[in-house]
Chains A and B, each alone.
Chain A
């Protein structure tokens, strides 16, 4: 058995040795692709966590028309609760709000002024993406102040969403292109290996070597390209994370990035690379390896 393994591994490494330029190109592209995917995935994961934690902090204020009565307040609160994307609705009675405002100033500033505040609601969203639609639905309710209506941090929410969609675009657009390029490079590297070892393959088929013995060295080659690419990508991600963190720490009072999960990252990227390498090499040997 060991004898068999050593023969098949020997064949795989011989194929790699004969094809060094393509080997470097294939490994470098896989590494770059996985670096990009890993980097985007890592950023996306943390941005998602950040936006989840911020969702609770993003709240809307809705203001009713002056003179709104308690039954109108109750009906409006009920209607807001039923809007998709709304997690919590708190009524802020105008009297309590005015007391809080007055406490911020010297008594002589507010003495004699009639409470100018309307009945209001604090709305906490369950899904930040729905902020605009929630605002529109709330605004459409009767008894809401037509001028002040709804107030929320639209710009901050939009920035977060734009960053997320940019990362999505980066992953699908540029990442897809790199994925395709690395796939073609692995395919080409394997096809070149098949071509450069066509005499050996022919001899193997002539003397009755099994399909396994003929094909597996090329699959191992693709597996090696993908795995090495995955390992390099993990190293590059780790280095990039450290470099960005130290730059941010130097220039700002930044608290630091979340630590890069090196072992899970290594495992994930190596497995993804290995599977991708295997698939590409399998496709590459389908046609030229017919017995």
Chain B
């Protein structure tokens, strides 16, 4: 355990063409094992902040570090190494519609170089971990929104990442399924994973009482600590 923040933004600016500011001087630190919500209205900069971390968007100035490594140092050839240090759960789940649940996870494993034998061994364990093993042979369209989200989370776990980033994980879910997904993310956090969630689902954010970073027009306007349990 070190005192160094696991994720660190220092005076980060992101400018889009047309002088649109995605982020405007964002400075924040997230410790290893924290559970953080990034909230704000549409266009506040939540997705930009996440995309800077995943290096889908390059920051214009400032420093962005994950575990001490500057994200901007990764280029198009090496960015895959950064992405293997994190699990990414996109808002739309990005499941392959013609592949079964287990195949969705297996495909991702094969894409990052796991052998067939490793896939056979690890996929059932991952599906158990995200509590979807009973639907392993179902196609995505046969699953509820919450189940699809769990598959997406399972796929994000294939590299055993220390950081999980989820963009609006409850955005398309009803309250029951939102709770299922959030409980799963809390469980992963309790196992030691750093969780970073972009959300505008305020009832969920308030219910879980974790650290909340509020963005507005690309600036941090509030950073409230987690409620003590």
Contact = CB atoms under 8 A, between A and B. Distances in A.
Interface of A: 3-4, 7, 199-200, 202-211, 213-214, 290-291
Interface string B38-73: 000000000000000001100000000000000000
Contacts of A290: 76
Interface string B65-95: 0000000000011011111100010100010
Interface residues of B, number: 28
Among the interface residues B56, B88, B113, B155, which one has the most CB atoms of the partner chain A within 10 A? B113
A71 B83 CA distance: 91
Nearest to B74: A291
A214 B94 CA distance: 16
Given A202-B94, A208-B81, A208-B82, 20 more contacts: A3-B116, A203-B94, A203-B108, A203-B111, A204-B111, A205-B83, A206-B83, A206-B108, A207-B88, A207-B108, A207-B111, A207-B156, A208-B80, A208-B84, A209-B111, A210-B80, A211-B76, A214-B111, A291-B76, A291-B80
Among the interface residues B55, B82, B83, which one has the most CB atoms of the partner chain A within 10 A? B83
B80 A211 contact: yes
B113 A206 contact: no
B107 interface: yes
Given A199-B94, A202-B94, A203-B94, A209 B112 contact: yes
Contacts of B156: 206-207
Contacts of B224: none
B115 interface: yes
Nearest to A207: B108
A207 B82 CA distance: 10
24 contacts: A3-B115, A3-B116, A7-B111, A199-B94, A200-B107, A202-B94, A203-B94, A203-B96, A203-B104, A203-B155, A204-B108, A205-B83, A206-B83, A206-B108, A207-B84, A207-B108, A208-B82, A208-B112, A208-B159, A209-B80, A209-B111, A209-B113, A214-B111, A291-B55
Nearest to A201: B111
A207 B96 contact: no
Contacts of A203: 94, 96, 104, 107-108, 111, 155
